[in-house]
């Protein structure tokens, strides 16, 4: 049958099982939105207050569900406003498809109104992107975008569609989506060498990254760790991939890693990195990272192998499939002395904070964890709030911790929380935020209230740009340049102005009541936890120092 390009876009989304999209309309996308209007009972569109947060919502939706998140925008500034969201998804390997309107083909390259080369701009931060100038290739382009976003190492794909293409007619025939196959590229010889290294190791240590979550390999990781009796640390992106209550869990690794994790890296004889990319925040001083260890690196992306750290054996392929092979073939270990050393470090160097009767952010996160039975989906902004949320909430499963790791995008968490709640309406969703980040995205309160999306913002309000101030305190001689936020708004009044519930907490004995009130409210809520401006996210490894030289 013949359909317009706009109708073809909608039909292709339906093929892919898309039920929700996020976006903001404009002139070049009007035909798409007109077609969407006719299918509003099949695909629900969420209109955000800003395009950037539409892209973050699509990202949070994808992370919480494991599906592809979809964002619509118009051309020009509408398209450029999602660049930060696309880069966030790219750095953290999140499958998002962005569909942008573009000026008509006869106006391309003429500095037309709201024209920008969005494919050129996003080329470095997408897995692939397309500009569609021919309606006859539109359907296959949309299908290809979804396939690319999900295959191999996931990531964002952008499809830019000229306005005249969305109005033209072409033949459309429904097709079933291609199945995404999970592949192992490692050779039998490489796998056997890895098994030999694991079997001969006396002090194995596992560093689990976001790839474990992307490949749905959490159960296989638990089986593998238990069989070789190895301690497990996670990168920030790997939080939730291994239960934080498991006795073998040692916490974060790297700049804000626990002493147990960082000491284990420094003393192990075999480091097994699984779905992790050895970022600078993990390895710090390269020549002092895992100095006594052979390194096995398991990853879907061959470009990550030997990029930051030289490895002894690389197993390239889907993490889940490779772990299944290893679990079946490695020998069961006891490693009694090694595990006892790990337990001793955990006992002697626990994460802690002052017990002085004051309101501390770590206590707030602990109480959120307890009062949600460790079962909520937690999104974060970026900064100290992000580290406290990763350290003090007891995560039990993958896709429970949602945060901008690679790009470190302030303003990410609230949009992501909205997307996550739409993806998982059965779960409590809480954005653990800093006041600096919340100033960037608080306009999305209008979105949450309008669609009655009962997300909770737990605002750790220290009146400063906390992480930057912390670095100024520790490394810049206490020269606090432009990090004090001595200005409005009153966040409780702001919540009320948007029609949300606002609660202020200034002492520890108010914490539980405020959290329970927010959980029972069934509506968007902002809890303003007023904390001291000099709270620190600790431990921390000074930049460039070995990861076992820790300030805590």
Neighbouring residues of 146: CB distance < 8 A, sequence distance ≥ 6: 16, 68, 97, 157, 177
Residue 175 makes CB contacts below 8 A (sequence gap 6+) with 15, 139, 143
Mark whether 150 is an active-site residue.
no
* Same-domain pairing of 311 and 369: no
Cα–Cα dist 209/211, whole Å? 5
Nearest to 157 by CA among 77, 237, 238, 100: 100
Give the structural domain span for 12. 2-171
Residue 177 lies in a domain: no
- Our answer to whether residue 190 is catalytic in this structure is no
Q: Which of 127, 163, 294, 536 is catalytic?
A: 163
Kindly state the helix (H) or strand (E) to which residue 192 belongs, with its residue range: helix 188-200
pLDDT on residue 335: 87
Catalytic residue among 42, 113, 328, 493: 113
114 is catalytic: yes
Rounded Cα distance between 232 and 374, Å, is 20
The 3-state DSSP class for residue 512 equals helix
Cα gap 201→313, rounded to integer Å = 14
Q: Which two tokens stand for residue 483?
A: 């990090």
Residue ending a domain, among 107, 140, 171, is 171
Q: Rounded CA gap, 351 and 392, in Å? A: 8
* Residue tagged active-site, from 114, 223, 321, 396: 114
Of these residues, 467, 470, 472, 535, which one is catalytic? 467
Query: What is the DSSP track for 322-356?
Result: HHHHHHHHSPP---HHHHHHHHHHHHHS------S
Within-domain flag for 541: no
**Per-residue CA distances from 139 to 73, 213, 264, 301, 425 (Å):** 18, 30, 51, 28, 31
Q: What is the pLDDT of residue 480?
A: 98
Q: Is residue 505 part of a domain?
A: yes
Domain check: are 508 and 418 in the same one? yes
255: annotated active-site residue: no
- Assess whether 227 carries a catalytic annotation: no
pLDDT of residue 374: 98
Catalytic residue of the set 7, 11, 20, 51: 51
Q: Is there a single domain that holds both residue 202 and residue 341? A: yes
- CA–CA distance, 540 with 209 (Å, rounded to integer): 19
Show pLDDT as tens, one digit a residue, over the chain (552 residues): 999 999 999 999 999 999 999 999 999 999 999 999 999 999 999 999 999 999 999 999 999 999 999 999 999 999 999 999 999 999 999 999 999 999 999 999 999 999 999 999 999 999 999 999 999 999 999 999 999 999 999 999 999 999 999 999 999 999 999 999 999 999 999 999 999 999 999 999 999 999 999 999 999 999 999 999 999 999 999 999 999 999 999 999 999 999 999 999 999 999 999 999 999 999 999 999 999 999 999 999 999 999 999 999 999 999 999 999 999 999 999 889 999 999 999 999 999 999 999 999 999 999 999 999 999 999 999 999 999 999 999 999 999 999 999 999 999 999 999 999 999 999 999 999 999 999 999 999 999 999 999 999 999 999 999 999 999 999 999 999 999 999 999 999 999 999 999 999 999 999 999 999 999 999 999 999 999 999 999 999 999 999 999 998
Q: Beta strands 456-461 and 429-434: pairing type?
A: parallel
- Co-location of 206 and 115 in the same domain: no
Among 280, 314, 348, the domain boundary falls at 348
Strands (E), 381-427: 401-402
Last residue of a domain, one of 294, 326, 348: 348
User: Which regions of 176-225 does DSSP assign to beta strands (E)?
Assistant: 204-208
Alpha helices in 4-48 (DSSP H): 5-15, 30-38
């Amino acid at each position: 049958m013949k359909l317009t390009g706009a109708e073809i876009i909608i039909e292709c989304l339906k093929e892919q099982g898309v039920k929700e999209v996020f976006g903001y309309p404009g002139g070049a996308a009007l035909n798409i939105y007109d077609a969407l209007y006719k299918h509003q009972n099949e695909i629900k569109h969420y209109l955000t207050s800003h395009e950037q947060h539409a892209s973050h919502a699509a990202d949070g939706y994808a992370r919480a569900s494991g599906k592809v998140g979809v964002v619509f925008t118009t051309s020009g500034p509408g398209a450029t406003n999602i660049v930060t969201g696309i880069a966030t998804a790219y750095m953290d390997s999140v499958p998002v498809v962005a569909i942008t309107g573009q000026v008509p083909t006869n106006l391309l390259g003429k500095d037309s109104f709201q024209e920008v080369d969005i494919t050129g701009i996003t080329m470095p931060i997408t897995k692939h992107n397309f500009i569609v100038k021919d309606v006859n290739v539109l359907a296959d382009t949309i299908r290809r975008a979804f396939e690319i976003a999900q295959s191999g190492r996931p990531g964002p794909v952008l499809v830019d569609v000229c306005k005249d293409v969305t109005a033209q007619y072409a033949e459309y025939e429904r097709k079933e989506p291609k199945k995404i196959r999970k592949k192992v590229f490692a050779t039998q010889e490489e796998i056997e060498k890895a098994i030999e290294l694991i079997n001969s190791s006396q002090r194995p240590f596992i560093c689990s990254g976001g790839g474990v979550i992307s490949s749905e390999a959490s159960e296989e990781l638990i089986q593998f760790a238990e069989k070789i009796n190895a301690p497990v640390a996670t990168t920030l992106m790997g939080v939730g991939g291994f239960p934080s209550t498991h006795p073998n869990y040692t916490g974060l690794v790297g700049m804000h890693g626990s002493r147990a994790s960082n000491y284990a890296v420094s003393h192990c004889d075999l480091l097994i990195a699984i779905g992790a990319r050895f970022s600078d925040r993990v390895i710090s001083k390269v020549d002092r990272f895992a100095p006594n260890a052979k390194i096995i690196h398991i990853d879907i992306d061959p470009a990550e192998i030997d990029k930051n750290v030289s490895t002894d054996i690389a197993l390239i392929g889907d993490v889940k499939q490779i772990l299944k092979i290893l679990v079946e073939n490695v020998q069961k270990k006891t490693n009694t002395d090694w595990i006892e050393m790990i337990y001793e470090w955990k006992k002697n160097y626990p994460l802690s904070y002052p017990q002085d009767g004051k309101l501390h952010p770590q206590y707030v996160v602990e109480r959120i964890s307890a009062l949600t039975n460790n079962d909520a989906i937690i999104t974060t902004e970026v900064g100290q709030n992000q580290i406290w949320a990763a350290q003090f909430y007891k995560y039990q499963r993958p896709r429970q911790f949602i945060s901008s790791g690679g790009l470190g995008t302030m303003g990410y968490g609230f949009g992501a929380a909205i997307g996550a709640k739409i993806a998982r309406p059965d779960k409590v969703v809480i954005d653990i935020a800093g006041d600096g980040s919340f100033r960037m995205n608080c306009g999305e309160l209008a979105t949450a209230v309008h669609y009655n999306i009962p997300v909770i913002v737990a605002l750790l309000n220290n009146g400063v740009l906390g992480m930057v101030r912390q670095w100024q305190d520790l490394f810049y001689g206490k020269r606090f340049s432009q990090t004090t936020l001595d200005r409005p708004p009153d966040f409780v009044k702001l919540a009320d102005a948007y029609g949300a519930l606002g609660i202020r907490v200034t002492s520890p004995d108010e914490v539980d009541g405020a959290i329970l009130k927010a959980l029972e409210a069934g509506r968007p809520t902002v809890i303003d936890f007023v904390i001291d401006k000099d709270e620190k996210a600790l431990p921390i490894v000074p930049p460039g120092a070995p990861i076992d030289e820790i300030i805590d």
